[in-house]
Amino acid sequence: MKKIAIMTSGGDAPGMNAAIRAVVRSALHYGMEVYGIYEGYRGLCEGRIEPLDRKHVSRIINRGGTILGSARYKEFERLPVQEAAAKRLKDEGIEGVVVIGGDGSYRGALALHRQGIQTVGLPGTIDNDIDSTDYTIGFYTALETAMEAIDRLRDTSFSHARCSVVEVMGRHCGDLALYAGIAVGSEFIITPETGYDEERIVQELISAHQRKKRHAIIVVTEKLTNVHTLADRISQDTPFEARATVLGHIQRGGSPVAFDRVMAIEMGEHAVALLHAGNGGQVVGLKAMEIVNYPIEEALEMVKPIPNKRYGFAGRLREKRS
């Protein structure tokens, strides 16, 4: 393989740049030419493809976001759009593409692969919702950011004897809330996996207050409820005055933590080795601390086993407080 390209797609995540750098430098090491596709699948369809060399990726290892830009592009689900994109790549002589993103980006990579382009997917999302890897690039950085923010909320929550309701991201996956909640010692962790029971939260806060608890932290995955409405209900129906905070896109930015950088670099190098060996149609993951790869179809069918430790711990937390 002589020419490959790299793109980032979907929500950006800290560590994507470290992966881009690793892909570019590994490809150059193998004597391949590397191209950057800007703005994800939309940019691919619009022909936003430029050569990348060593200098394009210098001093980006520590930068958040993605130097290539990213986009969510629903149109890529359509077959004619996929065919046109594959043709464009073939016309440029690009035989392989590394796509960094989430499940949607993997489906795009599979579509391109079916059109004769060798593709490799890397898991890049703060949500940790990709089943073919234990951890996604960006998750630990977002977790660190959420943890630091909630630590700060705890200071003021304690001073004013309040209840802080904190919404974190994660889409349909509770990992950010779960890990952040454990890391800050929150009183409640509410995720898609634990389910949402407002009545129970109210009752438990009342009994926590009776046990002389001065303040409380509730960490909630986004989309489960309106945290402002929940805070109003708590202020009204429990002895705690409550405040809600939505951490939002703050969680997506910032310099990647060491874990995300190292994992991104190892995954990037692995992706290029796969393409160099002509072994496309794969995604890369980290399983039991080993870098692994699976065929994309298989990866999209996988269901992450829920380790007892993680959800068992959350379960115990919930039981203890019931």
Instruction: For the CB of residue 138, give the shortest distance to ligand F6P in the complex, in Å.
Output: 9
Q: Closer CB to ligand F6P, residue 69 or residue 170?
A: 170
- Which one of 47-55, 73-81, 124-132, 229-237 is the stretch in contact with ligand F6P (CB under 6 A)? 124-132
Interface with ligand F6P (CB under 6 A), residue from 11, 43, 96, 181:
11
Please say whether the beta carbons of 8 and 57 come within 8 A: no
CB of 65 to ligand F6P, least distance (A): 12
The CB-of-173 to ligand F6P minimum distance in angstroms stands at 8
CB nearer to ligand F6P: give 26 or 251: 251
Nearest approach in angstroms of CB 283 to ligand F6P is 17
**Residue window 166-185: x/- pattern of binding to ligand F6P, with contact defined by CB under 6 A:** ---xxx--------------
84-89 CB contacts, 8 Å cutoff, 24+ apart? 84/45, 85/41, 85/44, 85/45, 85/112, 85/115, 86/112, 86/115, 86/116, 86/117, 88/44, 88/45, 88/47, 88/49, 89/5, 89/44, 89/117
Residue placing its CB nearer to ligand F6P in the complex, 11 or 123 = 11
Q: Is residue 8 involved in binding ligand F6P (CB under 6 A)?
A: no
Report whether 33 contacts 53 (CB < 8 A): no
Amino acid at position 211, single letter: R
Q: What are the backbone angles phi and psi of residue 168, rounded to the nearest 5°?
A: -115, 165
Report the alpha-carbon distance of residue 42 to residue 168 in Å, rounded.
28
φ/ψ of 145, rounded to 5, equals: -65, -45
**Which part of the chain contacts ligand F6P (CB under 6 A), choosing from 16-24, 165-173, 234-242, 302-310?**
165-173
What whole-number distance in Å separates Cα of residue 299 and Cα of residue 7?
A: 19
Cα Rg, the chain, nearest whole Å: 22
Tell me the residue ranges of DSSP E strands in 15-158.
Answer: 33-37, 49-52, 96-101, 118-123
Residues 18 and 268: beta-carbon distance below 8 Å? yes
Contact set for ligand F6P, span 209-248 (CB under 6 A): 222
Contact string (CB under 6 A) for ligand F6P, positions 17-56, x = contact: ----------------------------------------
- Closer Cβ to ligand F6P, 167 or 187, answer by number: 167
CB-CB contact of 26 with 36 (8 Å): no
Which residues are bridge partners to 279 per DSSP?
A: none
Considering the candidates 12, 103, 127, 134, report the single residue annotated as catalytic.
127
Cross-strand bridge partners of residue 5: 35, 97
Q: For residues 65 and 295, which CB has a smaller minimum distance to ligand F6P in the complex?
A: 65
Draw the binding track, 62-91, toward ligand F6P (x: CB under 6 A; -: no contact). ----------x-------------------
Task: Note if 260 is an active site residue.
Answer: no
DSSP states of 170-182: -TT--HHHHHHHH
* Shortest distance in whole angstroms from residue 249 CB to ligand F6P: 6
**Catalytic amino acids?**
127
Rule CB under 6 A: which residues touch ligand F6P?
Answer: 11, 72, 102, 125-127, 169-171, 222, 252
